[in-house]
Chains A and B, each alone.
Chain A
Amino acid sequence: MTTAAVLPADLETALPTTLFRFATAGSVDDGKSTLVGRLLHDSKAILADQLDAVARTSADRGFGGDKGGIDLALLTDGLRAEREQGITIDVAYRYFATDQRSFILADCPGHVQYTKNTVTGASTADAVVVLIDARKGVLEQTRRHLSVLQLLRVAHVIVAVNKIDLVDFSESVFRDIEAEVQQVGRELGLGSDGISDLLVIPVSALDGDNVVERSGRTPWYTGPALLEVLETLPAADELESHLESFRFPVQLVIRPQGALAPDAVAAGLDVEAFRDYRAYAGQITEGSVKVGEQVSVLTPGQAPRTTTVAGIDFAGASLEEAAAPQSVAIRLADEFDVARGDTIAAAGTVCEASADLYAALCWLSPKPLREGQKVLVKHGTRTVQAMVRSVSGKLDLATFKLEGASSLELNDIGHAQLRLAAPLPLENYLHHRRTGAFLVIDPLDGNTLAAGLVKDHPGDHEDERYSI
């Protein structure tokens, strides 16, 4: 349920809110669930019946000893096993809103399948909040998390130094951790590459210090509270819709051939005018497009075909312009044969399709990756067969250097070369978050094995920062 923060009086005048997606990451017991519970509670997203249920369970378990209190983590731990074992098993999604923004929050558990959960949460996130226990400081797990976030090019990384109450709100403890985080950030290129930024905030998830409002108990901290940051950071869409390179993977062709929607006809749609209607449906992954602009249709294995945009339709409205992440239907001036799997792109920014795929892989499955293995690659609106030619190394999290490896196992991040059965319009993930991403799928059981990020071919100019 959304909070009551946007209230009736505001409904008339306030601009509609925008959407912001963020995820939490951290080791077990760092306080992720408590922080999420705190944000929901303090922004009034928790309703009375939910709070009652949690209060009863907290009391039954004697939470907080004599002091009592509510175990806020119970608000997000949704499965029976999670509540019984006091751990979070799977990514849980939560929703709350302030008068600025609607938030979608992914609470990503930090134990065994940490990479899987962090990669999942981070892949759609505008920002990720990494928790550190103030008593423990930066751990190997923190370095892992930060390297995954760097790899996925998450736009904003916020490190919350939690349980600051348990170190007596000590400034020196905080400053030491802050310095260490910045050091790790520099090693990774995080926060200094112009793509992402890195912020460190002292918080107490349990008591609420610096979560929604700045705390009087940390007078030495003059920065914003966590929620203030989340309300003001630009979302990834905002950054992506301004990119010059328009990209539109075609999902399907809308071609009713006379079989028009009866309600549209009843509302006065001119049946004759729509007899030969043909439009390409999809979601703009980056950039924007205007009617009359030149675009290229990319069909893997064929030379790009250039034409102009004749119209942008959306459910009965004709738009002059559309931008990421809008779902629309595009009409082209020329009658090309365009199908699912093709990409419509801004003319002149064309990427070439290739059957050789060089990539960073986050291995998410207990089944290891072996050289010679056959897999499926799902990229945009296409899925093709592929063979793993070679694994060229995996990331050592202590040094952030690539070390030799010939296989990848659960939670490993490595580099591999794949040969595709059909060419794909691959683009470097560094510059194209959507068209540079793909899934590796097990052809036997259909499960997702890895998150893949397209790299340039070795030998081509490669960005230093990307060579994890």
Chain B
Amino acid sequence: MSNLSTTTAEFASAADAAPAPSPRGIRPSDDARGSDSGSGLPNARKLASGPSADALDATPWAASAAPALQAGRLSSLDTLESEAIHIIREVVAEFEKPALLFSGGKDSVVMLHLATKAFWPGKVPFPVLHVDTGHNFPEVLDFRDRTVERLGLKLVVGSVQEFIDRGELAERADGTRNPLQTVPLLDAIQRNKFDAVFGGGRRDEDKARAKERILSLRDEFGQWDPRNQRPELWNLYNGRHTVGQHVRAFPISNWTELDIWRYIERENIELPGLYYAHERQVFARDGMWRAVGEVSQPRPDEDVITKTVRYRTVGDMSCTGAVESNAYTVSDVVVEVAASTLTERGATRADDRISEAAMEDRKKDGYF
């Protein structure tokens, strides 16, 4: 595949953080680094130190949990959180067997965090579903298992590898497996009789996703029909479906990448370490830095070097790129994302660079 970026020639990196001149008087910051970037504990989750005086306040994020009304209005983050929790509770109340897609990626981690808040002090009342490409970052799988354990959840895994081994899926010429996830996903939905599947999809990710409903009906074949969607009115979500159909629910539809990061910061949410700056052996391909790993090997003409990078999305290791970054802490990342000039998919997903309609085509076939 040729390098598709014509004018965006440089690799995605924190250097993109230099804001373009703005008609609205954007003030660039002189210091884009957070002050405590050396703490080396980007994932440290601040746990409440034992039971507090008021038993009700004993929760890992109690300090930040109380939404503050400022001048009679909720902040945009509190409003988005409230909306997402309303949607999660509606789906749990109206569907028989929901499940949550959980990959260990930041959006799905935020989704799970919202679910724990929605049902506190009870358990999250549904299982999580992971569609495993077999091309994983080991630390992400490890994070997935620890999280499931910590929250006492049931984990259902749909495996791309098993389908390939059984000859029901064929490896693609380019070796990437993101597009192969659809079949195991639909299979897991059918076999487990899930009637609603929560996804962490956000409308700001992609032009096709921008057209997605919060509750989105899928037919017997898992297909999305963007031209015949139900109108979504007020906060009344219509999830009616017939046998064989299911519904995808996107409670964080209205969040942006920056909202996600601000929320992760505010709530002290733990993420896999690769979201923060670290040293890694990488090589350049298609205008992105690819990690060296079992399924991601450089060709003879591609030099391997060590760089300080982080990931903005995590997916199939063979097609997810890293960005050069010195964002060691969550507040560094907030600063970096706020000033970035590339979308997260444009910067890090080779599969979405193929065409303007790549996501639309995958979604029509039943992708996340």
Contacts and interface: CB of A to CB of B under 8 A. Distances in A.
B319 interface: no
Interface stretch (B116-124, B179-187, B301-309): B116-124
B318 to A, nearest CB: 21
Interface in B192-241: 203-204, 206-211, 217, 226-227, 229-236, 238, 240-241
Interface of B: 5-8, 16, 19-20, 22-24, 26-32, 47-48, 50-52, 54-62, 65-67, 69-70, 72-83, 85-86, 89-90, 92-93, 116-124, 150-152, 203-204, 206-211, 217, 226-227, 229-236, 238, 240-242, 253-254, 256-259, 334-335, 338-344, 346-347, 356-357, 360
A318 B57 contact: yes
Contacts of B217: 446
A44 B24 contact: yes
Main secondary structure of the interface of A (DSSP, over half): mixed
Interface string A385-399: 000000000000000
Given A8-B335, A50-B346, A94-B210, 16 more contacts: A2-B259, A7-B26, A7-B338, A11-B334, A11-B338, A18-B79, A50-B343, A55-B7, A78-B211, A79-B360, A104-B254, A117-B231, A241-B73, A261-B122, A264-B58, A327-B83
Interface string A237-259: 11001100000000110111001
Contact of B231 (A97, A120, A268, A325): A120
Nearest to B82: A327
B357 to A, nearest CB: 4
A251 B210 contact: no
Interface in A294-353: 311, 313-319, 323, 325-327, 329, 340
A16 B347 CA distance: 27
Nearest to B116: A261
Contacts of A6: 338
A50 B32 CA distance: 24
Contacts of A124: 233-235
A448 B230 contact: yes
By Cβ-Cβ distance, the 7 closest A-B pairs, closest first, are A316-B59, A446-B240, A78-B207, A49-B346, A8-B29, A16-B75, A315-B117
Interface band, chain A: 35 or more
A80 B360 contact: yes
A42 interface: yes
13 contacts: A2-B338, A7-B338, A44-B22, A44-B26, A47-B340, A50-B346, A53-B356, A89-B227, A94-B210, A252-B89, A252-B92, A266-B150, A448-B238
Contacts of A447: 230, 238
A445 B242 contact: yes
B234 A251 contact: no
B121 A277 contact: yes
Given A11-B335, A79-B211, A93-B254, A448 B231 contact: yes
A395 to B, nearest CB: 18
